[in-house]
Structure 1
Amino acid sequence: MSRRCQPAPESELLILGLGNLLMGDDGLGVYAAEKLLPFRHPPKIDIVDGGTSLLFYLEQISRSRRLLVIDALLGNEPPGSLYRIDLDDISEGTDSFRTAHGIALSDVIALARSHTGFPSQVTIIGAEPLDCHPSIGLSPPVAAALPLLVEQVVHEIRIHCNQKENVLVRPVGTS
């Protein structure tokens, strides 16, 4: 019996913001990623505006030890409600994350893991949308939740980096 050698990941943490900026609140993950991009962050942490194409990032996902996805999530709570979900806690066969992005997140993760064994952990952070119809910008409740969502992602990064308070530094002149 031959053993497959698992390659070392190129990224410790990949943060992937998903969404369509032309579909109102569906653009949430992209807006969040854009807010995080100016931060100086440790090496081996990548922040990516993934838009609507999960498959385009399959190779990068398969080379990341941990994946944190930011997206609009339907959970039947009031608009702007925040969610944090560990993908492995969701029962198999659930199509909960088959959205406008064309393929289920769980399918992309399964493909990535079949190649490299990574990512070993997948977390989804998002907010309940109000309106995902053609429009530009976030609805008021989702826009109000965006800073809290970004802080939740920053908290996840700090946990990943062993609770270092200065793990992310805002660039000079930003709030």
Structure 2
Amino acid sequence: MNDLDVLKEHLRDCKKLAVLGIGNPLRGDDGLGVFIVRNVVRHYRDRYPEQKLNIDREVNNISNRVILINCGTVPENFTDILKEERPDKIVIVDCAMMGERPGTVKLIDVEDIGGVGFSTHTLPLNVIVKYLRRYLDSEIFIVGMEPENLDFGVEGLSERIYRRSLEFTEILIDLIDAILER
């Protein structure tokens, strides 16, 4: 079973999901988490017009079962929203320096995140996860994608990461659809 199948299995019984996209769009592939969440919002915007979803808004609720958060480089700013929403599952999408081929997507064990280089957060991701675990009874999953280019001042994703991000967006939409259809 690959990592995405494992994630799918864990989300099978999800009652409320929060998806957090993290990254800096001004550092090339570091912005992939933000790119993916914005694309998911764009997908559901037409399907659920009553929700008034907006890709420029940081927090979008598709329904009372799915919340999408564009955290940018400050995921810690959204912990109060997570405490208020109380999702039973949280999926964090970010670029991660894992020493893999660019575009490789892995489910990263939250216990191992100290050994993985993450993007340009104000606070390290392991500190944020510890904080969330202290206040929430949520299962937390980290999906990392190996970047190709993290140069400062480069807007947009590299071609390979762009394609892989679109592929992962479709996978994420399928997972969210399964939750919404229950």
Compute the displacement of 1:143 (Å): 0.9
Q: How does 1:1-150 map to 2 (within 5 A)?
A: 12-38=16-42, 39=44, 40=48, 41-62=62-83, 63-87=86-110, 90-91=111-112, 94-96=114-116, 99-115=119-135, 117-118=136-137, 120-134=138-152, 135-150=154-169
| 8 Å CA contact 1:69, 1:125 repeated in 2 | yes
Change (3 A) 1:61 1:95: farther
Cα RMSD (Å):
2.3
| 8 Å CA contact 2:96, 2:119 repeated in 1 | no
**CA distance in 2: counterparts of 1:19 and 1:122, whole angstroms:** 18
Change (3 A) 1:26 1:98: closer
TM-score (norm 2): 0.71
Structure 1 segments unaligned to the other structure (5+ residues)? 1-10, 168-175
Compute the displacement of 1:142 (Å): 0.4
TM-score (norm 1): 0.74
Task: List structure 1 segments (4+ residues) > 6 angstroms apart after TM superposition.
Answer: none
Change (3 A) 1:25 1:73: same
**CA distance in 1: counterparts of 2:89 and 2:165, whole angstroms:** 22
| 8 Å CA contact 1:95, 1:104 repeated in 2 | no
Amino acid at match of 1:146: S
- Determine what percentage of the aligned residue pairs are the same residue: 24
Partner of 2:52: none
Provide Cα deviations, 1:112-162, integer angstroms capped at 9, x if missing partner. 2323x33x2111223210111111110111011111111222243345x28
Provide Cα deviations, 1:3-58, integer angstroms capped at 9, x if missing partner. xxxxxxxx811111111010000000010011001214443210111100011011
